[in-house]
């Protein structure tokens, strides 16, 4: 049986969609990717991603999707790629299809000068392809009781929530403009913003005070994964609305590491907080990625001056310099004594589990972990 490995053509999109729906529905609960990921799978989105196929006897046997994601920090842009919809037909496992497709996707990323790749999935399964669990995610848990107890300590406003069901809502341009004001954000076009906020079963809501727009959030069940308010002081009242809207006794709020204003605003209100690894990551361009996240870190806290020389197996020798609080990453000619594998770089410099970092990086540990993170809505 002849197996061909190639990228899907636009007209094969319906078959690709049928295939991933079938595999994920057999593996897990029923899946409908057109609803789960409208940003990639609703009609007309064929150009948004690349699907790599293993085809045998004109039948799709395996699929891997790669979708571009851009992370912005002021004028600085980091080109990333998310991997998703990784699926092999249950009757055709163990034939090496996945390995071949993953390697095709990774090789294209490197040709296209992608700096960083992310994917969700089992840690040890994807370590074969160079990924490692890392990044930072903050999850805050709120209970009904707390809002009653904390009311005297927080400003209170009567807010309303309104579900946004289409881009035609008069509040939609206000939501988009508020998102675009973030100094650190994923590049989302106005055309894609609504479908991105509907990813993974999330729903988009506007927050109003006396009919005046004062923010938005995206919520699925009782989890809020993105929130933007014109005045962060409204956070208490907004979260109380979210809890009521969810119809549950507990509410979860996920914040990115650099959302320090909101993290500070909830510090007196949450019941518990957890800091976990965000996802599986792979770095292709070390100077670019390190400088990007060191730049965010330097904006949020004062970095101690210092120098760190290290080598990454297969990727080169690097020097991180922080002078007067300003970080810079440069290349080194000679190999320094500290040699790390690509996976160790993520574990030491980009993970909340600092055990390996404090063991391997003798000095300058205070720079790490770097605030690598993506909102679930931007992932594929």
CB atoms within 10 A of CB 85: 25
Considering only CA atoms, give the Rg of the chain: 22
- pLDDT of 113 reads 97
Structure tokens at 297: 């870190």
Dump pLDDT digits (tens) for 211-270: 999 999 999 999 999 999 999 999 999 999 999 999 999 999 999 999 999 999 999 999
| Neighbouring-strand partners of residue 3 | 56
HSE-CB for 279 with a 13 A CA cutoff: 21
The answer to whether 140 and 270 are in contact (CB under 8 A) is yes
Q: Look-up: residue for tokens 């009782």? A: 222
Q: What is the pLDDT of residues 94-131, one digit of tens each?
A: 999 999 999 999 999 999 999 999 999 999 999 999 99
The C-alpha atoms of residue 320 and residue 318 are separated, in whole angstroms, by 7
Tell me the mean pLDDT per 10 residues along the chain, length 380.
94 96 93 96 93 96 98 97 97 95 98 97 94 98 96 95 97 98 97 97 98 98 98 97 98 97 96 98 98 97 94 97 97 96 97 89 81 97
pLDDT value of position 363: 63
Q: Are the C-beta atoms of 232 and 265 separated by less than 8 Å?
A: yes
State whether the Cα torsion 186-101-133-27 is positive or negative. positive
Give Cα 258 to chain centroid, integer Å: 13
Note the pLDDT of residue 216: 98
């Amino acid at each position: 049986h002849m197996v061909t490995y190639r990228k899907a053509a636009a007209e094969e999109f319906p078959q690709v969609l049928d295939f991933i729906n079938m595999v994920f529905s057999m593996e897990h609960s029923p899946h409908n990717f057109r609803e789960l990921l409208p940003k990639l799978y609703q009609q007309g989105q064929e150009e948004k991603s690349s699907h790599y196929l293993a085809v045998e006897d004109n039948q799709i046997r395996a699929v891997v999707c790669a979708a571009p994601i851009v992370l912005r920090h002021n004028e600085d842009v980091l080109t990333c790629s998310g991997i998703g919809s990784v699926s092999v037909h249950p009757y055709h496992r163990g034939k090496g299809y996945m390995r071949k497709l993953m390697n095709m996707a990774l090789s294209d990323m490197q040709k296209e000068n992608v700096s960083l790749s992310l994917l969700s999935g089992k840690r040890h399964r994807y370590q074969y392809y160079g990924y490692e669990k890392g990044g930072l995610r903050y999850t805050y848990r709120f209970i009904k009781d707390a809002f009653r107890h904390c009311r005297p300590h927080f400003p209170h406003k009567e807010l309303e929530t309104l579900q946004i069901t289409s881009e035609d809502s008069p509040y939609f341009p206000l939501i988009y403009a508020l998102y675009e004001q973030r100094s650190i954000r994923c590049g989302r076009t106005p055309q894609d913003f609504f479908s991105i906020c509907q990813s993974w079963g999330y729903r988009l809501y506007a927050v109003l005070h006396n009919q005046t727009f004062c923010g938005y959030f995206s919520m699925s069940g009782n989890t809020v994964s993105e929130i933007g308010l014109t005045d962060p002081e409204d956070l208490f009242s907004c979260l109380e609305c979210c809890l009521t809207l969810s119809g549950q006794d507990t509410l979860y709020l996920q914040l990115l590491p650099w959302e320090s204003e909101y993290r500070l605003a909830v510090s007196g209100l949450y019941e518990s907080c957890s800091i976990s690894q965000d996802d599986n990551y792979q770095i292709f361009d070390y100077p670019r990625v390190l400088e990007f996240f060191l730049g965010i870190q330097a904006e949020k806290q004062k970095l101690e001056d210092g120098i760190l020389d290290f080598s990454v197996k297969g990727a080169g020798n690097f020097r991180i310099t922080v002078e007067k609080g300003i970080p810079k990453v440069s290349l080194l000619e000679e190999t320094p004594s500290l040699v790390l594998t690509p996976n160790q770089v993520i574990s030491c410099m980009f993970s909340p589990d600092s055990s390996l970092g404090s063991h391997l990086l003798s000095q300058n540990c205070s720079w790490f972990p770097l605030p690598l993170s993506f909102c679930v809505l931007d992932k594929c």
